[in-house]
Amino acid sequence: MYGFPKVTFSKSAIKAAKAKGIPVDSMYCMDMLEQTGILTVPGNQFGQAEGSHHFRITNLSSDTQELGNAL
């Protein structure tokens, strides 16, 4: 099962990503991986609408209670 949580970024985060030359949601996903070990995929890989941001998470659990706890 996939989830696509929407993320709202501050102007400073958007500016920092532009300075690095990468989309802000890509920066967010890399930061999440480096800080928590959680792997996500930036929404820009899925044709998100201009000005919107999200990332994709994947759940491999068949237990709905476990999924609820994880989210």
Question: What pLDDT does 3 receive?
Answer: 82
What domains are there in the chain, each with its CATH number? 2-70 (3.90.1150.10)
Which of 46, 56, 51, 47 lies closest to 24 in space, CA to CA?
51
Residue 42 has a pLDDT of 92
Segment 18-64, tens digit of pLDDT: 999 999 999 999 999 999 998 999 988 888 788 888 898 887 767 77
Measured CA to CA in angstroms, residue 56 lies from 11, 19, 60 at distances of: 22, 24, 13
Confidence (pLDDT) at 49: 81
Residues 55, 28 contacting (CB under 8 angstroms)? yes
Which residue intervals of the chain are DSSP H helices?
11-20, 24-36, 64-70
pTM of the model: 0.77
